[in-house]
Amino acid sequence: MQDYLNELNPAQREAVVNINGPVLVIAGAGSGKTRVLTYRIAHLLEKGVKAYKILSLTFTNKAAKEMKERIATIIGAEKAASLWMGTFHSVFSKILRIEAESLGYPKNFTIYDAADTKSIIKNIIKELNLDDQKYKPNGVYARISNAKNNLITAPAYEANKQARFNDDQSGTPEIYRIYKIYSQRCKKSGAMDFDDLLLQTNILFKNHPKVLAKYQAKFDYILVDEYQDTNFSQYLIVKKMAEVHKNLCVVGDDAQSIYSFRGAKIENILNFKKDYKNFKMFKLEQNYRSTQNIVDAANSIIKKNKNQIPKAVFSKNEEGNKINVIESLTDNEEGFAIATRIFDSVYTDHTEYKDHAILYRTNAQSRVFEESLRKRNIPYKIYGGLSFYQRKEIKDLLAYYKLVVNKQDDESLKRIINYPKRGIGQTTVDRLAEYAREKDLSIWDAIINIPTSNINLNSGALNKIYGFAEMINEFTAKLYTTEAYNLAKEIASTSGITHDLFKDKAPEGVVRHENVQELLNGIMEFSTNNENEETTVSLDMYLEDVSLLTNQDNEKEEDLNKVILMTIHSSKGLEFKNVYLVGVEEKLFPGERSANSTSELEEERRLFYVAVTRAEKDLVVSYARQRYKWGQLHDCIPSRFIKDIDPSYVDFNVKEQDDTLFPTEREKPQTKKDYINKFAQNRTKKKEQKGTAPQARIGSAGKKLIKATTNTTTSQNTAIDNKDVKVGIRVEHGRFGYGKVLQIDGEFPNVKATIEFRNHGVKQLLLKFAKLKVVE
DNA sequence: TGCGTGCTTCTTTTT
DNA sequence: GAAGCACGCA
């Protein structure tokens, strides 16, 4: 174990052995940051520091888990287990549970995710009768979140002249009221949202110096990873915690700060020297990941940013190939080109699928590549997107668990009071909620205290509500006597969820049933991992954990040999042999709104830098000349970032377009059956994800029908009038309205579809675009 | 009470 | 291209 220091370069070694006092480690991309962090912890332990005296904060659960595993291999699993290691959110939610009562929250407070938060805000906007054109849930949420991350509580916001002025200016003067009501509602529900976990920690430390002192004393050594992505709230927590011992080591790279939209302040890392006098700074500048060409090219990009800590990242790896810039006519062609390259690489150079990663700016871009990869039978995996925990059936079941643990949780109660259907209608729930609001009670307390005369509900409805409440009570009674998995299973079946899903024999129903089983398996796994002789694992312990998990944490450790698709943001910290950076166009990357602001543009450029530095060996940068957005074709121009790269590292592969190279059709020839299947599959997929099938878009009797024939049909909102599957039709450029496919003939792409349209404006459009021939 | 339809809106990025 | 919402029809 002594030898580990020899594995490090001088800068890394300094960063590991200087354990006392404030330390700033600037870790360039691919410079062995994780290695330094793990070895530093190992070194601390070797120097006699107790594991439970070390607090290590990371940005993602996954990073924490990985680091823990790596440390375990060095120092042993037992010691590693008593380290405090996790994301800010998970570590401080643990602390908040311990200290909850001094803040007036229950220990078993619920954690609201973004969806919960948005739904509450939406309701408040509605209740206040505010103009929903001005007050958009997303926007309001962003304001509130921003306020919280800057430690501005609801009362402080109300009194904050600047904030109020800004709101007045932007025509949303009532935000402070929404914020106030939202906060009250969370408090009443015994719930915290993501931002609260940090805000309340700050409040705790501010109002309860003894508590702060306790944790200051507890942690002799604090390490923070990805420091450039901390927000003000996190920054202050760290500052306070480290105030006494001052043994704080922050690691980060200002050039990779890409989360300002979430409140991250690059200033935190830039100003470290101001906050911590006598700090030591170590720069890890040797890149072990990428070829010289890629490192040099990346340097030439980031050089364009003013706001940064100077550093000289270099590589001693082979020189490598130049960056390939390729141009395509359309987004579809781009997909085709990338898929072809991957295909060739795998079959001629014998690379593996998993060596290839396609990175894009927005999730929506994944679709084209999915299609083109599928057509070539290339296996792929998309990361991000809809999380397992966002699925309807999972959220439903978790809502039961949350309610059983915390009855004040109105959001969960509303979600499940009539699921599975037990005859408690919307009107009933609304009246209940209104009554609760009037009496300033949670809905649950309102149910318990209903004086029947005071509420406009008939006895039938009331009985159903009581039945529901009784069921929940019975579950709660078992909370600490029954082991988590058993109780979870019991709730799933007694509530009727399992049965409700089981009786659904359609493929999507089966999948949902399987998902529920998977969740239960997860609970079982959690139980076995956490049980010991003294305590059985109870359901609330599981809930603590699950609320902060994300899609990435649920990934199975299968040895996947698949092409990887993800956003640049989620690629941070990862590396791939071959990277395809796609959609590098103005208005997309950098995005439209970044163009006017220097700081936003710099952040986009850092994002570009992050993408480039993911590549170990080969990098392809790709853009299209035309791209569909919201069903319409737009002209695109190459991103300014491409010009930012020093041309000596780039191979511009933008040759005269050879139209014969790329087939003009959007699909490979398919049989009619394939065509129908594809739509059916899409529909199934949507249904799996959302729990409900997409709305069918189909004409009905009573309106004028037009029959038309087209040779290119794609659909909106899925499928064809094949048995029970109905469809909306979209034709070539733009949306013509919805119709019903009466008949499909021929092979793709020369499919002839006879469609009934019912949209009155359609006929003109049909005539205008000669592609369609009006039959009647 | 549920479902189909027409219209509107949405796109950054995620703990 | 996809999804949410309100309205209107059974």
Output the distance from A382 CA to B12 C1' rounded to whole Å: 17
Q: Taking Cα atoms as reference points, which of A370, A303, A378 lies closest to residue A582?
A: A370
Catalytic residue among A53, A361, A414, A614: A614
User: Would you say residue A694 has pLDDT above 70?
Assistant: no
Q: How far is CA A177 from CA A122, A130, A135, A167, in A?
A: 13, 11, 12, 11
State whether the beta carbon of A608 lies below 7 angstroms from any atom of strand B: no
Nucleotide nearest to A142 (CA to C1'): B14
- Percentage above 90 pLDDT, chain A: 42
Q: Which tens digit of pLDDT belongs to each residue from A264-305?
A: 888 888 889 899 988 999 999 999 999 999 999 999 999 999
> Annotated catalytic, A374?
no
Output the distance from A496 CA to C8 C1' rounded to whole Å: 32
Q: pTM for this structure? A: 0.81
- Residues contacting strand C at CB < 7 A? A 122, 367, 628, 630-631, 682, 686, 689-690, 694-695, 714-718, 730, 735
Question: CA geometry: angle at A546 spanning A541 and A548, to 5°?
Answer: 115
Q: How far apart are CA A710 and CA A750, in angstroms?
A: 9
Q: Taking Cα atoms as reference points, which of A744, A712, A751 lies closest to residue A725?
A: A744
- Mean pLDDT, rounded, of chain A: 80
Residues lying close to strand B (Cβ under 7 A), chosen from 78-97 of chain A, are 87-89
Q: What is the arithmetic mean of pLDDT over A95-121?
A: 90
Q: What are phi and psi of A566, to 5 degrees?
A: -160, 170
H or E element in which residue A690 lies: helix A672-690
State whether the beta carbon of A627 lies below 7 angstroms from any atom of strand B: no
State whether the beta carbon of A550 lies below 7 angstroms from any atom of strand B: yes
Is-contact A45 A51, C-beta < 8 A? yes
The tokens for A235 are 């920054």
Counting Cα atoms < 13 Å in the Cβ hemisphere of A84 gives 23
Catalytic residue among A117, A230, A256, A567: A256
Q: How far apart are CA A225 and CA A60, in angstroms?
A: 10
Is-contact A37 A56, C-beta < 8 A? yes
- Nearest protein residue to the C1' atom of B5, measured from CA: A697
Q: What is the arithmetic mean of pLDDT over A562-568?
A: 92
Q: How far is CA A667 from CA A332, A371, A376, A661, in A?
A: 9, 9, 12, 15
Q: What is the DSSP letter of A101?
A: G
Q: How far is CA A540 from CA A201, A206, A387, A402, A409, in A?
A: 21, 28, 22, 8, 14
pLDDT at A717 (0 to 100): 27
Strongest mean pLDDT among A288-297, A302-311, A670-679, A765-774: A288-297
Nucleotide nearest to A629 (CA to C1'): C1
DSSP assignment of A426-441 equals HHHHHHHHHHHHHTT-
> Annotated catalytic, A225?
yes
pLDDT at A560 (0 to 100): 79
Output the distance from A496 CA to C7 C1' rounded to whole Å: 32
> Annotated catalytic, A651?
no
Nucleotide nearest to A594 (CA to C1'): B12
> Annotated catalytic, A614?
yes
Q: How far apart are CA A9 and CA A649, in angstroms?
A: 27
Q: Which tens digit of pLDDT belongs to each residue from A595-654?
A: 778 888 999 999 999 999 999 999 999 999 888 887 677 888 899 999 999 999 998 876
Query: What is the identity of the amino acid at A523?
Result: I
Q: How far apart are CA A773 and CA A315, in angstroms?
A: 61
Q: How far apart are CA A747 and CA A669, in angstroms?
A: 7
The contacts of residue A498 (CB under 8 Å, 6+ apart) are A492, A513, A516
pLDDT at A459 (0 to 100): 73
Q: What are phi and psi of A21, to 5 degrees?
A: 80, 175
User: Would you say residue A756 has pLDDT above 50?
Assistant: no
pLDDT at A438 (0 to 100): 84
Output the distance from A139 CA to C3 C1' rounded to whole Å: 18
Catalytic residue among A116, A195, A196, A225: A225
Is-contact A620 A326, C-beta < 8 A? yes
Nucleotide nearest to A139 (CA to C1'): B10
Output the distance from A129 CA to C2 C1' rounded to whole Å: 28
State whether the beta carbon of A114 lies below 7 angstroms from any atom of strand B: yes
State whether the beta carbon of A737 lies below 7 angstroms from any atom of strand B: yes
Q: Which nucleotides of C are covered by protein (CB under 7 A)?
A: 1-6
Is-contact A344 A378, C-beta < 8 A? no
Q: Between residues A125 and A359, which one has the greater pLDDT?
A: A359
- Nearest protein residue to the C1' atom of B10, measured from CA: A630
Catalytic residue among A34, A292, A517, A626: A34
The overall longest dimension of chain A from CA atoms, in Å, is 87
Q: Which tens digit of pLDDT belongs to each residue from A640-661?
A: 999 999 999 998 876 544 443 3
Q: Between residues A182 and A383, which one has the greater pLDDT?
A: A182
Q: How far apart are CA A35 and CA A13, in angstroms?
A: 10
- Nearest protein residue to the C1' atom of B13, measured from CA: A569
Q: How far apart are CA A514 and CA A507, in angstroms?
A: 11
Catalytic residue among A13, A33, A605, A726: A33
User: Would you say residue A690 has pLDDT above 80?
Assistant: no
Residues lying close to strand B (Cβ under 7 A), chosen from 319-348 of chain A, are none
H or E element in which residue A368 lies: helix A366-375
- Percentage above 70 pLDDT, chain A: 80
Output the distance from A757 CA to B9 C1' rounded to whole Å: 23
State whether the beta carbon of A420 lies below 7 angstroms from any atom of strand B: no
Q: How far apart are CA A554 and CA A60, in angstroms?
A: 13
Q: What is the arithmetic mean of pLDDT over A50-72?
A: 89
Q: What 3 state SS string does A708-749 have?
A: EEECCCEEECCCCCECCECCEEECCCCCCCCEEEEEEECCCC
State whether the beta carbon of A700 lies below 7 angstroms from any atom of strand B: yes
DSSP assignment of A207-276 equals H-HHHHHHHHHH-SEEEESSGGG-BHHHHHHHHHHHTTT--EEEEE-GGG---GGGTB-THHHHTHHHHS
Say what the alpha-carbon torsion angle A540, A543, A548, A551 is, to the nearest 10 degrees: 160
pLDDT at A661 (0 to 100): 39
- Nearest protein residue to the C1' atom of B1, measured from CA: A425
Output the distance from A765 CA to B7 C1' rounded to whole Å: 18
Question: Dihedral of CA A508/A513/A517/A523: which sign?
Answer: positive
Q: Which nucleotides of B are covered by protein (CB under 7 A)?
A: 1-7, 9-15
**Length of chain A measured in residues:** 776
State whether the beta carbon of A459 lies below 7 angstroms from any atom of strand B: no
- Nearest protein residue to the C1' atom of B12, measured from CA: A362
- pLDDT class for A386, splitting at 50, 70, 90? low
pLDDT at A171 (0 to 100): 82
Name A566's bridge partners.
Answer: A359
State whether the beta carbon of A458 lies below 7 angstroms from any atom of strand B: no
Q: What is the arithmetic mean of pLDDT over A686-693?
A: 46
pLDDT at A665 (0 to 100): 36
Is-contact A357 A565, C-beta < 8 A? yes
Q: Which tens digit of pLDDT belongs to each residue from A422-452?
A: 877 777 887 888 888 888 888 899 888 776 5
Q: Taking Cα atoms as reference points, which of A112, A62, A57 lies closest to residue A552?
A: A62
Output the distance from A383 CA to B3 C1' rounded to whole Å: 34
Nucleotide nearest to A194 (CA to C1'): B15
State whether the beta carbon of A678 lies below 7 angstroms from any atom of strand B: no
Catalytic residue among A99, A167, A226, A253: A226
Q: How far apart are CA A729 and CA A766, in angstroms?
A: 13
Query: What is the identity of the amino acid at A106?
Result: P
The tokens for A113 are 């995710």
Nucleotide nearest to A631 (CA to C1'): C1
pLDDT at A728 (0 to 100): 34
The tokens for A705 are 């029908």
Nucleotide nearest to A682 (CA to C1'): C2
Output the distance from A593 CA to B15 C1' rounded to whole Å: 24
